[in-house]
Amino acid sequence: MEWSRRAESETPRAEQREFSDERGRRWVGTVTSGTDRGGEEHAEVIFVCRDQPSELKRVARLDIPAAQADTGWAKLSDEEVLSTFGRSEPA
């Protein structure tokens, strides 16, 4: 099996979105490539609480190909970001 590096144009940027949850805590969501087998087929968002670093990190899957994850995550509305956070699971 040979490995090859993805072209820079196909590598998603680590796009971030910041928001507050219903309890007023500030979170930042960073988009990444997926981690499951065939993980390059989708993207995931890792959520980190900025106010309480000890809070469990959370993860949610996006139904966006990894190569388009950065622009897809950036284009989501604030409501869609909160919805994605709402269905996230402890990492």
The whole-model pTM stands at 0.80
Residue-wise DSSP of 5-23: PPPGGGSPP--EEEEE-TT
Query: How far, in Å, CA of 2 to CA of 52, rounded?
Result: 42
Question: 3-state class of 65 per DSSP?
Answer: coil
The pLDDT of residue 38 is 57
Residue-wise over 51-90: b if at least 16 C-beta within 10 A, else e? eeeeeeebebbbebebbebbebbeebeeeebeebbeebee
Would you write out the chain's pLDDT as a tens digit for each of its 91 residues?
Answer: 576 776 766 665 678 999 999 999 999 999 887 665 555 677 889 999 999 989 999 999 888 877 788 888 889 999 999 999 999 999 8
